[in-house]
Structure 1
Amino acid sequence: MGWSDFYRRRDELAAVLDRAERNPAAPPEFDPDVFADADELLLALHHRWLQQLTGRLGVALTDGDDRVDAVLTTWRALAAEQPALRGLLDAHLTDPEAVGREERLLALTSGLAELSEPTAEVSAIGAAFLALIRSEPAVRTSRKRLLSRA
């Protein structure tokens, strides 16, 4: 991809997010000359989400000792700042690999799972943690309880 393509994709992502502010649950409208299909668009949006989340998590983890709280607070803050992006992803992203990457990121970064554990278990822990993150109010729970919910 050259710079011209990069800028076209960047601008199209911004336009998609602007349109999604009205209704993120609606199917995303996009230029088919820039993204081949909705799946390609959603993966690009998810990449953007993970870039922002990963950067913020890096900062948040240097500020305190409670990794679970840092991940929970950071995810929620980014979702609040980027409601169109998070809304599009929640409503339309179905790619299991992309969803699994985010789940594993959350599980590992929070310290609820370790790299030595099976990938499926790490993903299950991350999925349970993500469900907890999305719930209001946040309820602190143990790793054992998260595993039983998965």
Structure 2
Amino acid sequence: MSWNDHYRRRDAIDAVLRRAKRDPAGPLPRTGVFASDRELVLALQHKWSLILGGHLRVRLCETDGDELDAVTRAWRAASAAQPTLRAVLDAHLDRFPETAPMREAELRMLAQAAGLSEPGDSAEQVTKVGLALESLLLGASSKAHAGCAVRRLVLPNA
């Protein structure tokens, strides 16, 4: 990707988020840069991962040993800094199963950073822990995420 492509994509994402501020759960705005809603949602998820990762690194460096508190504060700070992005992802992410690997990696990152997993835990176990943590951070019940693609992968009977 050239720098021109990078800036076009960045500007398109910013425009989508400005328009989505009115109705994050509404149809995704067309950009002319992304070929499909799937590509746009993947780009939005990537943006969120970068923002969350930055907040995690800062909070974990500042922690006095309470990693769970640091992760909670990081997630909440990232959500407060990007409320529209978080709302758009919450509304649209589950429509695209292609996002599952990115989501699972994010959930594992949360669980591991919070100190809620052990080195010998399987990826599936760590993903489950991350999903539970994210559900608590979102303040949502498990029923609210019953249709979640990641939830179906982790808990097939859910």
Query: Normalising by the residue count of structure 1, what TM-score does the alignment of the two structures yield?
Result: 0.85
Following TM superposition, the consecutive aligned residue runs of length 4 or more in structure 1 with deviations greater than 2 angstroms are: none
How many residues of Structure 1 are paired with residues of Structure 2 in the alignment?
Answer: 136
Offset at 1:77? 1.7
The amino acid of 2:101's aligned partner reads E
Q: Helix, strand or coil: the match of 1:25?
A: coil
Q: Helix, strand or coil: the match of 2:44?
A: helix
Offset at 1:115? 4.1
Q: Please point out which of 121, 129, 135 is paired with 1:131.
A: 135
Offset at 1:116? 2.9
Aligned residues with identical type, % of pairs: 45
Partner in structure 1 of residue 145 of structure 2? none
Q: Helix, strand or coil: the match of 1:15?
A: helix
Equivalences for residues 62-101 of structure 1 within 5 A:
62-64=61-63, 65-94=65-94, 95-101=99-105
Checking the alignment, whether the CA contact within 8 Å between 2:56 and 2:74 is kept in structure 1 is: yes
Offset at 1:113? 1.1
Q: 1:2-57 CA distances to partner (integer Å, 9 max, x unpaired)?
A: 111111101100000100111111121022x3111111111111111111111111
Partner in structure 2 of residue 139 of structure 1? none
**Kindly tell me: are residues 22 and 66 of structure 1, through their superposed partners in 2, closer, same or farther at Cα, counting changes over 3 Å?**
same
Root-mean-square deviation over aligned CA pairs: 1.5
The amino acid of 1:12's aligned partner reads A
Checking the alignment, whether the CA contact within 8 Å between 2:55 and 2:77 is kept in structure 1 is: no
Partner in structure 2 of residue 43 of structure 1? 42
Q: 1:79-110 CA distances to partner (integer Å, 9 max, x unpaired)?
A: 12211100010000122212212111101111
- Structure 1 unaligned blocks of 5 or more: 137-149
Offset at 1:68? 0.3
The amino acid of 1:13's aligned partner reads I
Equivalences for residues 1-150 of structure 1 within 5 A:
1-31=1-31, 33-64=32-63, 65-94=65-94, 95-135=99-139
Distance 1:101 1:60 in 2: 19
Checking the alignment, whether the CA contact within 8 Å between 1:12 and 1:30 is kept in structure 2 is: no
Distance 1:49 1:116 in 2: 28
Q: 1:95-136 CA distances to partner (integer Å, 9 max, x unpaired)?
A: 221221211110111110134311110100000011111128
Q: Helix, strand or coil: the match of 1:35?
A: coil
The amino acid of 2:57's aligned partner reads G
Query: Normalising by the residue count of structure 2, what TM-score does the alignment of the two structures yield?
Result: 0.81
